[in-house]
């Protein structure tokens, strides 16, 4: 039988690896260096029982993703996965370093075997997982460094989920989890398990729709449509012909705002952190706002902005969740106006714009055209410049072919890098 390290050995190894590292990022780099020093690659391993060859361990600086392993499959293809999923052969000298890494991120050191019955400690209780043999549905409310904060679907009961490959989840998603173990520590409930599926369903979240304040009628005759004597552009003609429509301002939820301080704005603080290079701090603050209230549409929009450049699929989920939550306030036959110049409408319009850009970038031209067209009907003055994008989408011009121009006009797109751009 494989020899398990005695109690305390892994803790000692973790301390040895991270002794001079401060903060999670530095400690991840320390583990990366330890892997380079003590694990020989290429090496034989398994992933979920399937044989592979690990050719490289790496860390790209994303603390939520952690260490990765580039593996060569039996068919010759390569795949990059979480290093925590790699199982080395029994007796491999590098096995204890992988076990230490798994323990450091909160996973069992040897997840391929069932853990022994846990020993209860003071302030800790262990119980069987709920719905034994089935799955449990959880609503993601925030994504933390090493775990996910959730609530049970249909209730406000909070729980911390520990699972593999959670880093690309988005607040507001619903995940179905196959439970492994449930316990409490210091009065806080925890659950470990495997994520089986995920979905976006704003109607199932049980949220109270954001309020809509009636602000009178919007009259196209009072808007500027170009110089006098010049022909009206084609995109504007249907909106002018539609005539006056009711205009509204959508309620904005902004957790953490100090109503007595006019300069208190957690979104601005998040943007300041981003501009200073503290992306992790910016993301943490936005996740905390979502955990306080998933109806904070601006937090969803700015989480999308953080992921837009390098992880557009993740950005798409953030934008769509914010958009769908905002849509809970709009009837299916809603024909009103949500003007950009009414500041509280901007979070919803940002989510809608980001959603359209991500669809365009993914080659979904029909979906992108729907999003940009809707932006125009909701905000005919078109402060975000949707009219300039529709023609490209209609002619099936790729997003990449317009990237340089998009970057040059970033403040006008609504995907702004700071509050001053808005």
pLDDT in tens, 96-105: 899 889 888 8
| Rounded distance between C-alpha atoms, residue 303 and residue 314, angstroms | 9
- The answer to whether residue 1 is domain-embedded is no
In the structure, what pLDDT confidence band is assigned to residue 124 with cuts at 50, 70 and 90?
very low
* Residue 144: pLDDT over 80: yes
Top mean-pLDDT range of 82-86, 182-186, 261-265, 316-320: 316-320
Boundary of a domain, candidates 174, 199, 224: 199
Q: Are residues 259 and 378 in the same domain?
A: yes
CATH of the domain at 172: 2.40.50.140
Q: How many domains does the chain have?
A: 3
pLDDT in tens, 183-197: 887 778 889 999 999
Q: Are residues 348 and 255 in the same domain?
A: yes
Query: Mean pLDDT over all residues of the chain?
Result: 84
Q: Are residues 154 and 239 in the same domain?
A: no
Whether the full predicted model's pTM is greater than 0.75, yes or no, is no
- The answer to whether residue 206 is domain-embedded is no
Q: Are residues 16 and 91 in the same domain?
A: yes
Q: Which pLDDT score is estimated for 136? A: 93
Top mean-pLDDT range of 13-22, 185-194, 374-383: 374-383
- The answer to whether residue 116 is domain-embedded is no
* Residue ranges making up the domain that contains 54: 9-104
pLDDT in tens, 389-410: 998 999 999 888 877 665 555 5
């Amino acid at each position: 039988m494989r020899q398990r390290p005695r109690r305390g050995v892994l803790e000692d190894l973790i301390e040895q690896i991270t002794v001079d590292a401060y903060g999670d990022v530095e400690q991840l780099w320390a583990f990366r260096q330890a892997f380079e020093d003590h694990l020989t690659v290429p090496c034989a391993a398994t992933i979920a029982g399937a044989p592979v060859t690990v050719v490289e361990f790496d860390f790209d600086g994303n603390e939520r993703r952690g260490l990765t392993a580039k593996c060569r499959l039996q068919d010759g293809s390569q795949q990059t996965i979480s290093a925590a999923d790699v199982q080395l052969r029994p007796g491999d000298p590098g096995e204890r370093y992988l076990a230490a890494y798994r323990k450091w991120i909160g996973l069992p050191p040897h997840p391929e075997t069932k853990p022994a019955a846990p020993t209860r400690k003071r302030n800790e209780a262990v119980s069987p997982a709920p719905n034994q043999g089935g799955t449990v549905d959880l609503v993601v409310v925030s994504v933390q460094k090493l775990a996910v904060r959730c609530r049970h679907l249909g209730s406000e009961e909070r729980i911390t989920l520990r699972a593999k490959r959670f880093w690309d989840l988005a607040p507001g998603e619903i995940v179905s989890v196959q439970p492994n173990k449930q316990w409490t520590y210091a009065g806080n409930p925890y659950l470990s398990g495997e994520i089986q599926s995920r979905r976006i369903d704003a109607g199932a979240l049980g949220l109270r729709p954001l309020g809509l304040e009636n602000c009178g009628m919007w009259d196209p005759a009072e808007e500027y449509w170009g110089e006098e004597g010049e022909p009206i552009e084609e995109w504007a003609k249907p909106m002018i012909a539609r005539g006056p429509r009711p205009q509204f301002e959508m309620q904005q939820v902004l957790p953490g705002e100090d109503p007595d301080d006019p300069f208190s704005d957690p979104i601005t603080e998040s943007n300041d952190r981003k501009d200073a290079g503290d992306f992790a701090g910016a993301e943490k603050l936005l996740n905390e706002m979502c955990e306080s209230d998933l109806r904070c549409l601006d937090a969803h929009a700015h989480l999308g902005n953080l992921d837009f450049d390098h992880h557009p699929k993740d950005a798409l989920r953030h934008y769509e969740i914010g958009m769908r939550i905002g849509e809970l306030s709009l009837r299916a036959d809603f024909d009103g106006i949500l003007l950009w110049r009414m500041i509280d409408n901007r979070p919803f319009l940002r989510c809608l714009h980001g959603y359209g850009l991500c669809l365009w970038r993914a080659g979904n031209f029909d979906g992108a055209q729907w999003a940009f067209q809707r932006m125009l009907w909701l905000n005919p003055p078109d402060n975000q410049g949707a009219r300039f994008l529709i023609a490209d989408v209609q002619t099936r011009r790729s997003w990449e072919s317009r990237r340089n121009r998009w970057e040059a006009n970033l403040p006008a797109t609504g995907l702004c890098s700071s509050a001053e751009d808005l």
